[in-house]
Amino acid sequence: FLAGAASTAPADELGIGRTPVLSGNLPTATSWQVEIQQAGGAWTGTGVMVAGRGADFTLRMDGWPDGASYRFQRVDGGLSVPATVAAGWHLAGRVTDPVRPPVLIQDSENLGTWSPRQLVFPDLDRSFVRGLDSLTGPRGFFRSAPVAAGVVREISATTYTSAPPYNGEAGYGPIYADMPQIYKDGYVSALHTTDYNRGGLSAGAAGECYELVSAYGRTTVMIHDSAPSAPAGTISAGRGYFDLGAAPFNVLSGGNPSGILTATARLVPAPVTGNVKLFVAPGSSIYYMALIPFNHRAGIDSIEILNNGSSLWHGMTRAAGGRFAYMAGGSLPLLSYPVQIRVTSRFGESVVFTSVSSLADNARITGPAQFTVFPEQAPVPSFRRQPVYQDSLSAVPGDKWDVTGFGGASVSVTDTAVKYAGTASLRMDGLSPGGGIVFISNPSLPRPRHGVLRMVVRAASPVVAGGVRVRITATNIAGGGSADSQTIWLPALTTGWQTVLLPLEASGAGTKVTGFVVNGGSAGQPSVWLDNVELIER
């Protein structure tokens, strides 16, 4: 039983509501609109469209009023079928910031201790709705919490051929056997040069770990190399770029061995055991010495050395290969043992190696402690799916959409003369039973949780119900070939904009969405425009 809710920035609204959960079984090869009746009023359309497929289904109406009556109204008129209505719960909120920043939802049973529940990304209309599949405990309280800018980053990722010892610019190859298990298991990644040399520090990100979340899964990687180039549309658009080892890419891509994907990322403590360690690079002497730090929980900002009998710490210079170098000469004296070595993390915490009697080539030296300071982490990231269309088709590497016409139909992807919002809309001409527009997701993506294809649509002149039709193209993650939805008839269209929502699962779409097809119910359809098209999660 849910007792209450509290809200803080950044969500301008956050509420808890009961969810009508509709169920039914509609004849195959038919299309239906969910209609609502409140307090004895007239039945009105919701814009939620379902294709009949001769099978039992359930449909969550998250965000729609509880306590109202619902029915399925056949699009081509006449027949209506009462919906069986059960109840669930949902959270709903809204932001006013047009950038649509992520919102962290926290929950609590006693208003004393709050825990992160999930990070949500508002839809194009700046709202979000998330279904609550179950409620635990006698009470539940929810609030939104601020998310600092930049702590959760959107990234694109590719993969490369990787094999032990995973040589990279960080210099960990020669010490593969001594590296943390995450590294030996191949959960490694190169990072774009700008971020690899974070803050202008050469190899500043070496040994740091990031948790990545894609549409398919979640994993953690250790940075071991620099990626000097990135796909167009990543770094220039403010996105991060990871070039992943085969193991983490397999998790995040749903088993695809190659390609490009999108994910969100956050910095996390490296999952290491034991204390901070140093590797003495070959060629060291009292004149020159180079160290490679490893097995550190947080990134390294500096290494300093203190000669025997001295009180003056000398900073070591960052060099290629993840090294920190000391070269005697000028104000730097010859090394005099035993020395002390001070290693400082990016968060200002130091571990001091005392009384190091020698620094022999290839030696591994274990420090007296491990870093414990790590600021409050970013919220556990969630995957952010890009809109299919908002002024243009998504061109984000790893979440890209393409269109093509067939059967005499054509498409203009940037019609600036007619638009619902922003600067442009997408115009389709020549829709017919044998002619339409194919929207292709590159790559394909798993069907969103309680997923809905939402679009805003209008026509150049009135179109009868079923004059425009949509089919979700899909396969199943487990295989088995095509698993397209049934054809969904849209309601009658006018010269005004209207929102339609196409629930994916209820209409039979498989678990991996490859795109959708729009065509006409008869020849001679007028121009039809789409805007603000997105696959949303509920």
Exposed/middle/buried for residue 189 (C-beta within 10 Å: 0-12, 13-18, 19+): buried
| pLDDT for 6 | 36
**Joined tokens for residue 141:** 């309280």
Nearest to 305 by CA among 276, 344, 275, 277: 344
For 140-162, write each residue's pLDDT tens digit: 788 888 777 667 899 999 999 88
pLDDT tens digits for range 171-209: 999 999 999 999 999 999 999 999 999 999 999 999 999
Q: What is the pLDDT of residue 9?
A: 43
Task: Quick: pLDDT tens for 426-460.
Answer: 999 999 999 999 999 999 999 988 899 999 999 99
Peptide bond into 10 cis (omega under 30): yes
Residue bearing tokens 């983490």: 248
State residue 67's pLDDT score. 87
Please say if the pLDDT value at position 366 is more than 50: yes
pLDDT band at 324 (very low <50, low <70, confident <90, very high): very high
Structure confidence at residue 2 (pLDDT): 30
Task: Report the C-alpha gap between 262 and 217 in whole angstroms.
Answer: 11
Interacting residues of 505 by C-beta distance below 8 A, sequence separation 6+: 57, 447, 450, 451
Determine the pLDDT at residue 383: 86
Q: For residue 322, what pLDDT band results from cuts at 50, 70 and 90?
A: very high
- What confidence tens digit (pLDDT) does each residue in 77-97 have? 878 999 998 888 889 999 998
Confidence of residue 242 (pLDDT cuts 50, 70, 90): very high
Instruction: Tell me the CA distances in angstroms from 8 to 14, 69, 285, one per residue in order.
Output: 9, 33, 58
d(CA 496, CA 456): 10
Query: Residue 291: its pLDDT value, please?
Result: 98
Q: Are 300 and 201 in contact (CB under 8 A)?
A: no
Compute the radius of gyration of the chain from its Cα atoms.
28
pLDDT of 3 over the 70 cut: no
pLDDT above 60 (res 63): yes
Determine the average pLDDT of the residues in 10-38.
89
Write phi, then psi, for 520 (nearest 5 degrees). Answer: -100, 150
Tokens 């008129």 locate to 77
- List, in sequence order, every residue forming a beta bridge with 516; answer none if it has no partner: 439, 472
Instruction: Identify whether the C-beta of residue 357 lies closer than 8 Å to the C-beta of residue 282.
Output: no
Judge contact between 476 and 483, C-beta under 8 A: yes
* Residue reference for tokens 């940037």: 414
Q: How far is CA 6 from the centre of its chain?
A: 26
Segment 351-371 shows an average pLDDT of 97
Say if CB 209 and CB 182 are below 8 A apart: yes
As beta bridge partners, residue 277 has: 294, 366
Beta bridge partners, 18, equal 89
First to last CA, the chain: 21
pLDDT digits (tens, 9 = 90+) for 464-478: 999 999 999 999 987
What is the CATH code of the structural domain delimited by 147-381?
2.60.40.760
Helix, strand, coil percentages, rounded to 5, for the chain: 5, 45, 50
- Least confidently predicted of 37-41, 419-423, 424-428, 500-504: 37-41
| Domain ranges, ordered by start, for the chain | 7-102, 147-381, 384-537
Burial class (CB in 10 A: 0-12, 13-18, 19+), 440: middle
Q: Is 60 exceeded by the pLDDT of residue 135? A: no
> Under CATH, which number does the domain 384-537 receive?
2.60.120.430
pLDDT(376) > 80: no
Separation in Å, CA 489 to CA 53, 472, 479, 484, 519: 13, 12, 28, 15, 10
Position 104, amino acid: L
User: Is the per-residue pLDDT at 136 higher than 70?
Assistant: no
Return mean pLDDT, the chain.
92
What does the block give as tokens for 403? Answer: 């269109």
Cβ atoms of residues 153 and 265 within 8 Å: yes
* CB neighbour class for 133 (10 Å; exposed up to 12, middle 13-18, buried from 19): exposed
